[in-house]
């Protein structure tokens, strides 16, 4: 353990930075406010170390503190914006998402894979389709989302072995696939068909369809999808009416990425 409560490791690793980022990541939609004890439990740090990191964030303006609870401030968005603004993909994908949403009348999104989760990098929302709000920077599990499975399908077997070894496969609805064997079989179908449809596995009443966006070398750069409420469109309608739009956009984007 290092002096701040983190694990000692590679000499090139800065433990303090690693732990500080872990404290920031402990905040999410389910935990917008944390006590020192909450942060310590979520990160594995000691209470004393968690306290120092939280107070440092507050002193630098990245967190608010009301005497008991800490919450992140909008200043934290600067950290993510610096990365997003340096990426060419979001700005290039956005016009196609807006065109898709206009043509099909449903919300569309683009995402990349990060540490086993999908991270939304662009979105065109026509209506709210989930119980939680989605926007650029939102993160969702990869194993039970159409965007995630599309991106997982592009990974090799060694990568997937490591992924399934570390990621808990929780049932978010009664329809969620929670077996690595079942999900691997679903990924084979994705590879064979070139698209992915996930039906009420992330949230009841929600289904979505996704395709991969490749660059000129054939490498998958991101995935794009459209999500709909189940009462608005059947799976077959999604295949007939939305999938062609996604494939056309992916082909156009492949020429400019």
Residue 242 forms part of a structural domain: yes
User: Half-sphere exposure of 124 toward its Cβ, with a 13 Å CA cutoff?
Assistant: 20
My answer on whether 122 and 50 are in the same domain is no
pLDDT in tens, 110-150: 999 998 899 999 999 876 555 566 888 889 999 999 999 99
My answer on whether 237 and 127 are in the same domain is: yes
**Does the residue 1 lie in any domain?**
no
Q: What confidence category does residue 1 fall into, taking pLDDT thresholds of 50, 70 and 90?
A: very low
pLDDT in tens, 156-170: 999 999 999 999 999
Tokens of 59: 């002193």
CA–CA gap between residue 140 and residue 128 (Å, rounded): 16
Query: Quick one: 66 and 182 in the same domain?
Result: no
User: In this structure, are 99 and 177 located in the same domain?
Assistant: yes
What is the average per-residue pLDDT within 60-70? 94
- To the nearest whole percent, how much of the chain has pLDDT over 70? 90
For residues 97 and 164, state if they share a domain: yes
Do 98 and 223 sit in the same domain of this protein?
yes
* Domain edge (last residue) among 78, 111, 131: 78
Judge if 108 and 204 occupy the same domain: yes
Same domain, 131 and 247: yes
pLDDT at 2 over 60: no
Domain end marker among 58, 78, 98 = 78
Range of the domain at 63: 15-78
Does the pLDDT at position 6 exceed 90?
A: no
Asked whether 202 and 214 are in contact (CB, 8 A), the reply is no
Note the pLDDT tens digit of each residue in 32-51: 999 999 999 999 999 999 99
User: Residue 91 domain-assigned?
Assistant: yes
3-state secondary structure labels for all residues of the chain: CCCCCCCCCCCCCCHHHHHHHHHHHCCCCCCCEECHHHHHHHHCCCHHHHHHHHHHHHHCCCEEECCCCEEECHHHHHHHHHHHHCCCHHHHHHHHHHHHHHHHCCEEEEEEEECCEEEEEEEECCCCCCCCCCCCCCEEECCCCHHHHHHHCCCCHHHHHHHHHHCCCCCCCCCCCCCHHHHHHHHHHHHHHCCEEEECCCCCCEEEEEEEEECCCCCEEEEEEEEEECCCCCHHHHHHHHHHHHHHHHHHHHCCC
CATH code, 62 = 1.10.10.10
Q: How many domains does the chain have?
A: 2
Asked whether residue 194 is assigned to any structural domain, the reply reads yes
Average pLDDT of the residues in 52-71? 94
Residue 9, domain member (yes or no): no
**What pLDDT score does 34 carry?**
96
Whether the per-residue pLDDT at 9 is higher than 60: the answer is: no
pLDDT over 70 (residue 184): yes
Structural domain includes residue 20: yes
What's the pLDDT score for residue 10? 65
| pLDDT on residue 5 | 47
Same domain, 137 and 24: no
For residue 87, pLDDT beyond 80 = no
User: Does 133 lie in the same domain as 64?
Assistant: no
Whether 198 and 240 map to the same domain: the answer is yes
Residue with the bigger pLDDT between 90 and 80: it is 90
Over residues 52-64, the mean pLDDT reads: 94
Q: What is the pLDDT of residue 82?
A: 63
Residues 70 and 99 in one domain: no
Q: Find all residues with CB under 8 Å of 113, minimum gap 6, and list them.
A: 119, 142, 148, 151, 152, 155
């Amino acid at each position: 353990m290092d002096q701040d409560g983190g694990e000692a490791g590679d000499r090139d690793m800065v433990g303090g930075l690693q732990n500080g980022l872990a404290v920031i990541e402990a905040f999410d939609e389910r935990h917008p406010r944390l006590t020192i004890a909450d942060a310590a439990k979520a990160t594995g740090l000691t209470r004393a170390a968690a306290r120092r990191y939280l107070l440092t964030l507050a002193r630098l303006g990245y967190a608010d503190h009301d005497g008991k609870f800490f919450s992140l401030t909008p200043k934290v968005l600067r950290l993510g914006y610096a990365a997003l603004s340096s990426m060419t993909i979001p700005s290039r994908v956005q016009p196609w998402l807006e065109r898709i949403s206009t043509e099909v009348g449903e919300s569309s999104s683009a995402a990349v894979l990060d540490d086993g989760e999908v991270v939304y990098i662009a979105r065109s929302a026509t209506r709210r389709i989930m119980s939680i709000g989605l926007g650029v920077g939102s993160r969702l599990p990869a194993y039970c989302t159409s965007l995630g499975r599309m991106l997982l399908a592009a990974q090799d077997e060694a990568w997937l072995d490591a992924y399934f070894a570390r990621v808990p496969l929780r049932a978010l609805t009664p329809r969620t696939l929670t077996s690595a064997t079942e999900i691997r079989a679903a990924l084979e179908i994705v590879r064979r068909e070139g698209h992915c449809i996930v039906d009420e596995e992330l949230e009841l009443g929600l289904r979505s369809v996704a395709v991969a966006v490749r660059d000129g070398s054939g490498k998958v750069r991101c995935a794009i999808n459209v999500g709909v409420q189940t009462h608005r469109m059947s799976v077959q309608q999604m295949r007939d009416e939305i999938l062609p739009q996604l494939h056309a956009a992916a082909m156009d984007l492949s020429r400019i990425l």
